[in-house]
Amino acid sequence: MGSTEVQAMAAVQQAEKQAAAPWSVAAVEALMALPLPELMHRAQVVHRENFDPCEVEFATLLSVKTGGCPEDCSYCPQAARYDTGVSATKLMEPAEVLAAAEAAKAAGATRFCMGAAWRSPKDRDIEKVSELVRGVKALGMETCATLGMLEGGQAQALADAGLDYYNHNLDSAPEFYGQIIKTREYQDRLDTLGHVRTAGVKVCCGGIVGMGESRRQRAALIAQLANLSPYPESVPINHLVKVEGTPLADQADLDPLEFVRTIAVARITMPTARVRLSAGRRQMGEAVQAMCFMAGANSIFFGEKLLTTDNPETLDDVALLGKLGMYPRGKKPAH
């Protein structure tokens, strides 16, 4: 083992001695710098202490209101200011949404997530989404929504409707955020998460990697998530999907192993969270996805679309899990 690797391991051990929490950026970065076999081993140990290592949660994401968003998120094809070919639509009718939820359940999904391209919904929008939540809950599925920024009363209304999870990603480290988004402050995102927690709804919160950030900035994102009190129950780690017409369309590719390292440190720092492979799976290929599962990912978005971008098809996901000897949540084979 080289001197750099020895130093990285020593830095991790020192950080762990100093405090179990909070996680400093330096401690997370030191984890990321470990030799990959060591990092993967540590992630697997934590994963096995908290989950069945062969089980993967299937969640389906449906865009119930697409496009026309006034924000300037540099990665997003739904921003009205970018010419990406995405047309703005109205909120879907309840019957359409419930039909999609029923199909997702039949295909093996246990959580149904509804996304709407709003900066912040109006109260009348919350009433309509609450109706959708109640309908999906009646099918026996977990529910999740991502609707933009919420006020406290809106979060409580969704909680009263039975919403299980609210997704509101931090997207990046605080110091990198301003390079990606200027129409919303980082604190706005933290405020929404606070309203969701106060209402008693579980938090789904993660970020996007591959937007041009440094390894230290990826570590800072993970530290920010891990130091939320409590940390999110669900942590989606998205790989940038480069969409023509957005400012990040020509962003250089992230090294796939750097993505795997990000998954591993998310697992280690947030032991009981569902760490989800989200956007960008189509470009990863089976080998990288398999490494992510070994690094502690245990949830995927399942289905052919993620809001407006392609996702591996359902049968491909089932086939991959079969090759790996893994299975969907609640479907453990009898031996």
Q: Which residues are catalytic?
A: 69, 73, 76, 113, 144, 204, 276
Type of residue numbered 9: M
* DSSP β-ladder status, 234-239 and 207-209: parallel
CA 47 to chain centre: 17
CA 225 to chain centre: 11
Q: Could you count the other beta carbons within 10 Å of the beta carbon of residue 198?
A: 12
Q: Give the residue among 242, 165, 240 at the shortest CA–CA distance from 205.
A: 165
Q: Could you count the other beta carbons within 10 Å of the beta carbon of residue 139?
A: 13
Six token digits for residue 154: 């809106």
- Let me know: does 266 contact 222? Beta carbons within 8 Å: yes
* DSSP β-ladder status, 327-328 and 55-65: parallel
Helices (H), the chain: 3-18, 25-32, 36-50, 94-106, 123-137, 152-160, 174-177, 186-198, 215-226, 256-269, 285-294, 314-324
Q: Give the residue among 324, 275, 265, 314 at the shortest CA–CA distance from 105.
A: 314
- Let me know: does 192 contact 232? Beta carbons within 8 Å: no
- Let me know: does 84 contact 77? Beta carbons within 8 Å: yes
CA angle 325, 330, 331 (to 5 degrees): 45
